[in-house]
Structure 1
Amino acid sequence: MLRHVVLFEFADDTTGETINEIFAGFRTLVAKLPGAIRVSAGENTSPEPLDKGFRHGFVMDFESASARDAYLAHHDHVAFAEGRVIPALKAGLDSIVVFDYEVAE
């Protein structure tokens, strides 16, 4: 299994409603793409002041790296990222951190 971790630094004027809609959009993508297992999303709750502005994120699990690659290239993901997610971020792609790793089962 491959875990896809994404952290966001949303623009200061991005509302909580917009952030919730974006996270709902990721849940919709997972539901329709083969090889995507689950997604969870939320706001950072750590008491440590180490988020560096990346206060929101999601974790998406895939059956394999190839399933993740198919998701990244899928037209619905690309359209959603370009049309909805990136415009809501503080500095576009500079406001995203992605970290993927294999999960031992």
Structure 2
Amino acid sequence: MAEANGPVKHVLLAKFKDDVSPEKIEELINGYANLVNLIEPMKAFHWGKDVSIENLHQGFTHIFESSFDSKEAVAEYIAHPDHVKFANLFLGSLDKVLVIDYKPTSVSL
């Protein structure tokens, strides 16, 4: 199957370090959310905490999802000075992190 052009979702799974306070986590989440106002290629931002009953989270507690129009837009976001500055701060507060970029695909039945 050929890879189609189009939107890309950037997903980050996170587990904050045990010594990071809830207030600091809230501050970091607000900073992450504000990137959508600072970096034009970032079209949307959503986040949430794990609520699964399957207990398959492997220690990850938070999920962050950003939307972009293309893989090139993701690359522009990653290289943007505001992202680099925030990522250095954010990543220092994490115990575990996993990042996946994917192109949403719909299945017709």
Matches within 5 A, 1:57-76: 57-76=63-82
Matched, 1:80 2:86: yes
- Which AA in structure 2 matches 1:53? G
Percent sequence identity is: 35
The two structures, once aligned, show a CA RMSD in angstroms of 1.4
| Residues 9 and 68 in structure 2, CA contact (< 8 A), matched pair in contact too | yes
Amino acid at match of 2:94: L
Find the counterpart in structure 1 of residue 102 from structure 2: 101
Hey, which of these two has a bigger chunk of helix by percent? 1
The 4+ residue runs of structure 1 with deviation greater than 2 A are none
- Across the two proteins, how many residue pairs are aligned to each other? 100
Alignment pair present for 1:2 and 2:8 = yes
Q: Deviations over 1:44-88 (max 9, x none)?
A: 111111111111120000111111110101111111111x21221
Give how far 1:103 is off: 2.0
Q: Give 1 or 2 for the bigger CA radius of gyration.
A: 2
The 3-state SS of whatever aligns with 1:36 is coil
The alignment's TM-score, normalised by the length of structure 2, stands at 0.84
2:55 to 49, 72, 81: 49
Q: In 2, distance between residues paired with 1:32 and 1:41?
A: 18
Question: Using the alignment, how far apart are the partners of 1:97 and 1:46 within structure 2?
Answer: 18
